[in-house]
Amino acid sequence: MKRYLVIFEGRIQGVGFRAWCQRFAVQYNCTGKVRNMSNGMVELQIQGEPEKIKIVLSKIKEGNMFIHVDEMHTKEIALQMDEKRFGVDYY
Protein backbone atom coordinates (compact mmCIF):
# COMPACT_ATOMS: atom_id res chain seq x y z
CA MET A 1 0.00 0.00 0.00
CA LYS A 2 1.29 3.45 -1.00
CA ARG A 3 0.01 7.02 -0.97
CA TYR A 4 1.05 9.75 -3.36
CA LEU A 5 0.56 13.47 -3.66
CA VAL A 6 0.24 14.35 -7.35
CA ILE A 7 0.09 17.87 -8.78
CA PHE A 8 -1.30 18.22 -12.30
CA GLU A 9 -0.79 21.13 -14.69
CA GLY A 10 -2.54 21.72 -18.01
CA ARG A 11 -6.11 22.21 -19.18
CA ILE A 12 -7.57 20.61 -16.07
CA GLN A 13 -9.93 23.07 -14.40
CA GLY A 14 -13.45 23.59 -15.65
CA VAL A 15 -13.36 20.42 -17.80
CA GLY A 16 -14.52 17.68 -15.39
CA PHE A 17 -11.02 16.71 -14.30
CA ARG A 18 -11.86 15.99 -10.65
CA ALA A 19 -14.72 13.67 -11.63
CA TRP A 20 -12.36 12.05 -14.18
CA CYS A 21 -9.87 11.34 -11.36
CA GLN A 22 -12.59 10.01 -9.07
CA ARG A 23 -13.94 7.68 -11.76
CA PHE A 24 -10.64 5.84 -12.18
CA ALA A 25 -9.70 5.89 -8.49
CA VAL A 26 -12.99 4.24 -7.54
CA GLN A 27 -12.76 1.79 -10.45
CA TYR A 28 -9.35 0.60 -9.18
CA ASN A 29 -10.27 0.62 -5.46
CA CYS A 30 -8.08 3.54 -4.49
CA THR A 31 -8.87 6.06 -1.76
CA GLY A 32 -7.89 9.69 -1.44
CA LYS A 33 -9.12 13.06 -2.61
CA VAL A 34 -8.78 15.59 -5.40
CA ARG A 35 -9.14 19.38 -5.32
CA ASN A 36 -8.59 22.43 -7.48
CA MET A 37 -5.81 24.77 -6.43
CA SER A 38 -6.04 28.55 -6.71
CA ASN A 39 -3.07 28.64 -9.12
CA GLY A 40 -4.93 26.63 -11.79
CA MET A 41 -3.36 23.30 -10.90
CA VAL A 42 -5.10 20.27 -9.38
CA GLU A 43 -3.91 18.36 -6.30
CA LEU A 44 -4.60 14.63 -6.04
CA GLN A 45 -3.90 12.40 -3.06
CA ILE A 46 -4.24 8.74 -3.97
CA GLN A 47 -3.76 5.63 -1.88
CA GLY A 48 -3.85 1.97 -2.84
CA GLU A 49 -1.85 -0.87 -4.31
CA PRO A 50 1.11 0.55 -6.29
CA GLU A 51 0.23 -1.26 -9.53
CA LYS A 52 -3.35 0.04 -9.37
CA ILE A 53 -2.19 3.60 -8.67
CA LYS A 54 0.10 3.38 -11.68
CA ILE A 55 -2.87 2.40 -13.88
CA VAL A 56 -5.07 5.19 -12.46
CA LEU A 57 -2.42 7.85 -13.03
CA SER A 58 -1.82 6.59 -16.56
CA LYS A 59 -5.54 6.78 -17.39
CA ILE A 60 -5.85 10.25 -15.83
CA LYS A 61 -2.86 11.51 -17.80
CA GLU A 62 -4.35 10.22 -21.09
CA GLY A 63 -7.09 12.81 -20.72
CA ASN A 64 -9.92 13.13 -23.21
CA MET A 65 -11.13 15.71 -25.73
CA PHE A 66 -11.48 18.32 -22.95
CA ILE A 67 -8.76 17.32 -20.45
CA HIS A 68 -5.10 17.80 -21.34
CA VAL A 69 -2.39 17.11 -18.75
CA ASP A 70 0.89 18.94 -19.51
CA GLU A 71 2.81 18.07 -16.33
CA MET A 72 2.39 15.61 -13.47
CA HIS A 73 4.54 15.90 -10.32
CA THR A 74 4.42 12.92 -7.94
CA LYS A 75 5.69 12.51 -4.39
CA GLU A 76 5.17 9.63 -1.96
CA ILE A 77 3.50 10.72 1.30
CA ALA A 78 2.37 9.06 4.54
CA LEU A 79 -0.49 6.55 4.46
CA GLN A 80 -3.93 7.46 5.86
CA MET A 81 -4.96 4.11 7.34
CA ASP A 82 -8.46 5.26 8.38
CA GLU A 83 -9.43 6.47 4.90
CA LYS A 84 -12.37 4.57 3.38
CA ARG A 85 -13.23 6.30 0.08
CA PHE A 86 -12.15 8.69 -2.64
CA GLY A 87 -13.57 12.20 -2.34
CA VAL A 88 -13.78 15.34 -4.43
CA ASP A 89 -13.40 18.72 -2.77
CA TYR A 90 -15.69 21.32 -4.38
CA TYR A 91 -14.67 24.75 -3.16
Choice among 18, 35, 39, 64 that is catalytic: 18
Choice among 11, 23, 36, 85 that is catalytic: 36
C-alpha 88 chain-centroid distance: 10
DSSP 8-state class, residue 55: H
16, amino acid identity: G
DSSP 8-state class, residue 43: E
Q: What 3-state class would DSSP assign to 65? A: coil
Determine whether 36 is an active site residue: yes
Residues annotated as part of the active site: 18, 36
